[in-house]
Amino acid sequence: QVQLVESGGGLVQAGGSLRLSCAASGSVGLMGWYRQAPGKQRELVASISRSGSTDYVDSVKGRFTISRDNVKNTLYLQMNSLKPDDTATYYCNANSVFYVGQTYWGQGTQVTVSS
Q: Whose CA is closest to 21, among 37, 10, 36?
A: 10
> What's the CA gap between 115 and 21, in Å, rounded?
24
CA distance 87 to 37: 7
Which pLDDT score is estimated for 39? 94
At residue 52 the predicted structure's pLDDT band, cuts being 50, 70 and 90, is: very high
Confidence band (pLDDT; 50, 70, 90) for 63? very high
Q: What is the mean pLDDT of residues 7-22?
A: 97
